[in-house]
Amino acid sequence: MRKEIRIAGFGGQGVILAGIIIGKAASLFDNINAVQTQSYGPEARGGASKCDVVISDEEIDYPKVENPDILVAMSHEALIKYMVDLKQGATLIIDPDMVQEDDIKDFIKERDLTVYHAKATATTVNEIHLKIVANIVMVGAITKATGIVSEEAARKSILDSVPKGTENKNIDAFEAGMRIVEA
């Protein structure tokens, strides 16, 4: 079953690394297939930045995301830019402090979206005391809300991807994400 995931925010939030971690978790540790692609150029340096991951238990031919099954929005700009591509009945994960959900109430209804909330940015400031791990909080939220990768694979992938010496903070962030995500 092919699943398309898009993680979007503004440049600097670490959406690319979040996508790499999900892709790596699926392909190296859950032993299914994954392809990760991302936006490049000026748009990746401050504007809306996106990271796409395709996950499938079959071989992945076409590597690009066209209509996501899952959209993770870490900024309002990214939400507005990419929500139109979502499949009918898709899953939307948002950081409620970073987006105005009221603005898209009608769209959520029309597209029959399942919405999850994860206060990733606030959690990193208040609990982890390290703002740069908001992306890893989101990895926790994605893992818990969608089950697209296993918890064990996500943990291994994080440890394989983050700089040495930051493992504990990142695992804390991952666990916080698993805990705070709610419908």
Closest CA to 113 of 87, 151, 147: 87
**117-130 burial: b if 16+ Cβ within 10 Å, else e:** bbbbbbbbeebbee
20 near another protein (CB under 8 A): yes
CA dist., res. 138 & res. 140, Å (int): 5
CA dist., res. 21 & res. 101, Å (int): 27
Half-sphere exposure of 72 (CA within 13 A, CB side): 34
CB of 182: closest distance to another protein in angstroms? 30
CB of 24: closest distance to another protein in angstroms? 4
What residues from 30 to 49 belong to the interface with another protein (CB under 8 A)? 33-38, 40-41
Site string (62-81) toward another protein, x via CB under 8 A: xxx-x---------------
CB of 62: closest distance to another protein in angstroms? 5
| Residue number, 40 or 182, with CB nearest to another protein | 40
136 near another protein (CB under 8 A): no
Is-contact 169 133, C-beta < 8 A? yes
Choices 29-37, 76-84, 123-131, 139-147; region in contact with another protein by CB under 8 A? 29-37
Choices 4-12, 25-33, 90-98, 162-170; region in contact with another protein by CB under 8 A? 25-33
Is-contact 133 15, C-beta < 8 A? no
61 near another protein (CB under 8 A): yes
CA dist., res. 138 & res. 173, Å (int): 8
Name the site residues for another protein (rule: CB under 8 A). 20, 23-24, 27-28, 33-38, 40-41, 60-64, 66
